[in-house]
Chains A and B, each alone.
Chain A
């Protein structure tokens, strides 16, 4: 029972994104600037070098494109939505509704993810045609596994975003928490630089944390750098984290609502 109401929530958030389309497109363009800067930087880095840390330039190009795709899904836009609810107290209204708070937020997030995903896929498709020799998704099986890991990565990211947002109940600071989370996620997920470039100690730390499931897993699978078995293992690890983060979020929520402060009436 009840899947339908979450479905309508997802639809609502999709329409909401469409209603503020100028904002949505400008945000997207802002991220795109980052992609161009990184692309040019890596181009200069690879100048005169065949490969670095097991990555050839065409692989690196695909790496940047996939990272952009993963990062533009579940953007800042949906993230700040959750923290704002808590900061301005409108979370109170959610407490009155016969909805599971965590599931409702997931539904909303996934709703706007659909549009973000479509737009970035189109853009990346165009870019991939222009960047010569991008070694993206060579066969059917890889593509299939990539798609699964990509969808799972959204859930991992949601788990982390949700828990960070709940911290607002204690800190009363939204944007600072989001920035801190972004910094940590960007480094440890492999969004800034592939984990293969890290010194061994940093890489082993990163592999033990949930963040690598956001970028590192879909990218290594998409680039065909893993065997079938390895790929399945990586996806299994993603799901272990999805479950752990979900339960953690659930537990934090039940703890947080007990000490809620709402300003004004």
Chain B
């Protein structure tokens, strides 16, 4: 079955807006989620600020450069929650057999999974993270040209795709690990901690791990290195789109294998 990209966007919009209506019914939840995300980020930012008030730089990385990486992780998390929160609901879909409904509809399963929910905390993450990114960019000297703008867009889009693909792949564990809560995907999610800082502070094995196996480095570190012209690393920026394709491939493959294993819950 082939569906045109336009139709997919239309379907996505329809599914998303339905979820939004459901979400708005619980308005207290809505504000608390945004507030919680803002608070988490502000404390993280304060943490960096406290460290950098004692030392000038970490292995040649200045405060605003690290703040940029920190915020990049949060913005990607925000995009993942706001627009693709459904990946985090897969455990429920699989365990309660709700995936049945998705499988009989003439709409791609991935699309339906993406639209299973909306995480309003994502909005808070995007707003604060975006603000910190803009502040960092204004504090760091970058020569803006058509090339750098193009590069920035490519890096950003790739980073978001990589993040969402990692979420999807990690949550596919629901097909294999029954009854364990979201513990496994949360563990993968936490690997993002490593990408909040320049990865050169880690051992080589760890660097390779978060660049290749679970490539969080391409969400924050590589874009930062490429944008700020860190010589020995900036060339990695050109691999970003490739890594995005690789992540999507692995995630979709895992989903396919998982769906084949899926046996509905009796009722």
A-B interaction: yes
Point out residues on B near A: beta carbons under 8 Å: 26, 28-29, 32-33, 35-37, 39-40, 42-44, 46-47, 50-51, 53-55, 58-59, 121, 177, 179-181, 183-184, 186-187, 189-191, 193-194, 196-198, 201-203, 206
B65 CB, min distance to chain A CBs, angstroms:
14
Q: How large is the interface on A (under 10, 10 to 19, 20 to 34, 35 or more residues)?
A: 35 or more
| Chain A hits for B180, CB < 8 A | 20, 22-23, 26
15 sample A-B contacts, Cβ–Cβ < 8 Å, listed by A number? A20-B180, A22-B177, A29-B187, A33-B191, A43-B201, A172-B26, A173-B28, A176-B29, A176-B121, A179-B37, A183-B43, A187-B46, A192-B47, A197-B54, A199-B53
Bound-state CA distance A26–B42 (Å) is 27
Looking at the complex, which one of B44, B179, B202 makes contact with A20 (CB distance below 8 Å)? B179
A186 contacts the other chain (CB 8 A) = yes
B interface SS class: helix
Instruction: State the CA gap A181–B16 with chains docked (Å).
Output: 29
* A171: Cβ under 8 A from any B Cβ: yes
Inter-subunit contact A177/B32 (CB<8 Å) = yes
Complex Cα gap A182–B39 (Å):
9
> In the complex, what residue of chain B is closest to A176 when comparing beta carbons?
B32
- In the complex where A176-B29, A180-B39, A186-B43 touch, is A193 in contact with B50 (Cβ < 8 A)? yes
- Residue B39 contacts which of A41, A45, A183 (CB distance < 8 angstroms)? A183
Pick the 7 closest A-B CB pairs, nearest first.
A26-B183, A176-B32, A179-B36, A44-B201, A173-B29, A180-B36, A187-B43
By a CB distance below 8 angstroms, the chain B residues around A33 are 187, 190-191, 193-194
Bound: A62/B3 CA distance, A: 57
Give complex CA distance A218, B1 in Å: 62
In the complex, how many angstroms separate the beta carbon of B194 from the nearest chain A beta carbon?
5
A184 at the interface (CB under 8 A from B): yes
By beta carbon, the residue of chain A nearest B26 is: A172
Q: Does A27 contact B (CB under 8 A)?
A: yes
Known contacts A23-B183, A30-B183, A37-B193; is A180 also within 8 Å of B47 by CB?
no
